Amino acid sequence: MRRPAASPLLTLLFACLLGTAHAQQTASDRSQLRISLLTCSPGAELYSTFGHSALRIVDTAAGTDIVYNFGVFDFSDPDFYVKFIRGKLLYFLDQEAFPYFQYAYLVEGRRISEQVLRLDADRKREIQAFLAENLRPENRYYKYDFLFDNCTTRLRDLILRQGSPAVRTGRVLDDTTTTFREQLHSYLYPNRQYWSALGIDILLGSRIDRPMTNEQAMFLPDFLEKALDSSRDTGGSLVEGKAVILESTAGTDTDQPWLPPTVLAFSVALGLIVLLSFMRTKSAVSILKATDRFLFLVTGAIGVLLVFMWTGTDHASCRDNLNLAWALPTHLAAAFRLRSGTRAVNTYLRATAGLSAALLAGWAFLPQDLNPALLPIVLWMGWRAYRLSA
């Protein structure tokens, strides 16, 4: 993970200011440690759309102010893309001085809030020792899973699971039926990541349409922060203090289009295809020949990709994917025989049209929430398959 380099002068200034603010420790705390959760607001890029979590430890005895971050990966790895696609990319725990961490978010105009944790001296030392042990080269790497094992869930487990068994958190979701996909949409759409949302909805299968548990919802930084705010044990709240370290300077765009551009683009394309289907001009026929082959090639290629992601990778969330009902891998071969007129091809086209009609009829009842931008695609596929088989 690359971060902008802070100037020495700015770093020194931050260190002085923050060192003064955090140097105080209670007389009863023999550890001289101050541990807090840092929650960073979403950024403009897709990789930062969902925010970030890190753990900060101020050690007044050693004079250090360190941020521990489980969300680091080596982009320079020559096999980076292959490992990423196959779900074998290793993330790792890293540390950096707090002023450098803060400066990176200052540059991006992103908010950082801090929750100081109420922990006894022994527990603080345990957490510090745990992180030190996991920084060792043989321990620092783990196989990243965006939903179930990420930089936030690692901190959730460290703070809540390894803490006092008496720790309880309130509900972080207003609706107990909320799914992973719905939560992802709640970040993607306000950030105008419509095409990214479409890609994610195509790749991820029905497993992310199950209601989340309260603990699972904490895979997102905002919800871990909310959980800690509501946490209680026999001594009271787990958070003894909360502050905003950096305010967001990024503008908030609340004006959403009446129709997502993905839906609009495919709906316009569908309308043009239907119109061309009733025209008998040579140019209309030529355009339909090209677009028919393109449609079957692309949907077939997507189908092959979905089968690979399901069976050939470690991405559990890509399994049980009902998008294969419209993105049939066999479309890839059929694309070159659409107008052959043979009985086998016509039978295949009629089956495709029937499958498209069945998918549209049962759209609202599927165990997987398909992206609305796919509606015109399925209509397009069914319409052209029917016309070609007639």
Which pLDDT score is estimated for 175? 85
Residue 357 domain boundaries: 261-389
Residue 101 lies in a domain: yes
**Residue 206 is encoded by which pair of tokens?**
């029905």
Residues 22 and 165 in one domain: yes
Residue 187 lies in a domain: no
Residues 142 and 216 in one domain: yes
Residues 239 and 333 in one domain: no
**How far apart are alpha carbons 12 and 9 in whole angstroms?**
5
**Residue 157 is encoded by which pair of tokens?**
């487990």
Residues 159 and 236 in one domain: yes
Which pLDDT score is estimated for 174? 85
Among the candidates 199, 223, 246, a domain finishes at 246
**Cα torsion for 211, 173, 253, 200, to the nearest 10°?**
-20
Which pLDDT score is estimated for 165? 61
Residue 238 lies in a domain: yes
**How far apart are alpha carbons 97 and 8 in whole angstroms?**
12
Residues 66 and 135 in one domain: yes
Residue 23 lies in a domain: yes
pLDDT in tens, the chain (390 residues): 334 334 434 443 444 444 444 444 444 567 799 999 999 999 888 878 999 999 999 999 999 999 999 998 877 777 777 787 788 888 999 999 999 999 999 999 999 999 999 988 998 999 999 999 999 999 999 998 989 999 999 999 999 876 556 688 888 988 889 999 999 999 999 889 999 999 999 999 999 999 999 999 999 999 999 999 998 877 788 999 999 999 988 765 667 788 899 999 999 999 999 999 999 899 999 999 999 999 999 999 999 999 999 999 999 999 999 999 999 999 999 999 999 989 999 999 999 999 999 999 999 999 999 999 999 999 999 999 999 998
Residues 72 and 139 in one domain: yes
User: What is the DSSP secondary-structure string of 301-341?
Assistant: HHHHHHHHHHHSSS-GGGSS-GGGGTS-TTHHHHTTSTTS-
Which pLDDT score is estimated for 114? 97
Q: How far is CA 249 from CA 11, 43, 82, 107, 246, in A?
A: 20, 11, 36, 10, 9
Residues 265 and 289 in one domain: yes
Quickly tell me which residue has 């609202």 as its tokens: 364
Residue 351 burial by CB count (10 A; 0-12/13-18/19+): exposed, middle or buried? middle
What is the residue type of 265? A
Among the candidates 191, 222, 246, a domain finishes at 246
Give pTM, 2 decimals.
0.85
Residues 27 and 154 in one domain: yes
Residue 183 lies in a domain: no
Residue 198 lies in a domain: no
Residue 185 lies in a domain: no
Residues 377 and 228 in one domain: no
**How far apart are alpha carbons 304 and 329 in whole angstroms?**
5
Residues 236 and 306 in one domain: no
Q: Phi first, then psi: give them for residue 55, nearest 5 degrees.
A: -115, 135
Residue 188 lies in a domain: no
Residues 86 and 155 in one domain: yes
**How far apart are alpha carbons 213 and 219 in whole angstroms?**
11
Residues 56 and 79 in one domain: yes
**Residue 138 is encoded by which pair of tokens?**
């043989």
Name the helix (H) or strand (E) containing 359. Answer: helix 343-361
Question: What is the number of structural domains in the chain?
Answer: 2
For the chain, how many residues are written?
A: 390
